[in-house]
Amino acid sequence: MPSAREDMVAGRPYDSAGPELVAMRARAQALMRRYDATIDGDDRGLLDELLGTWAGAAIRPPFYVDYGVHIHFGPGCFLNYGCVLLDVAEIRIGARTQIGPMVQILTADHPREAHRRAAGEESGRPVTIGADVWIGAGAIVLPGVTVGDGAIIGAGAVVTRDVAACASVAGNPARPIR
């Protein structure tokens, strides 16, 4: 029988109240608390502990995650203040991607049926962001989205669908723009 973590990462329904997941979130919260107390992220060794792959990404605190270990950065990435990366499934961010302040990258999802939500059921779908992407301030990338290399996501956009390489999208929901 798979563990709640195995179900979670595989995108199957899971119960987030299981002891392994509670302990993982507590660990991540303790590391985030320590990192967020730094001046401009001056103790980046904490990111080695928190993240699956850090690769030297410049991450301005505060920085918020669920688990951290499912987040993978390519080299040369930058995240501005207040980003939220909910990593119940993998988040992969390509090299040199720049992410504005208050951006949310969300893999967590919930059933559409109220009785399943009431029972505590959750699931997740991975998010993949290519290399050399620019995500403007306050944008939200929803579960299961893939953003192609070189794409631009406008400030405040809500990205509900995949974004093609080199495309620019904006709005709610995000749509291609010239």
Active site positions, annotated: 110
Taking the C-alpha atoms of residue 152 and residue 148, their distance in angstroms, rounded to an integer, is 9
Q: What are the Cα distances from residue 93, in Å, to 57, 130, 147, 149, 165? A: 10, 6, 9, 10, 14
CA–CA dist 151, 165 (Å, integer): 5
Which residues have a Cβ under 8 Å from the Cβ of 26 and sit 6 or more positions away?
A: none
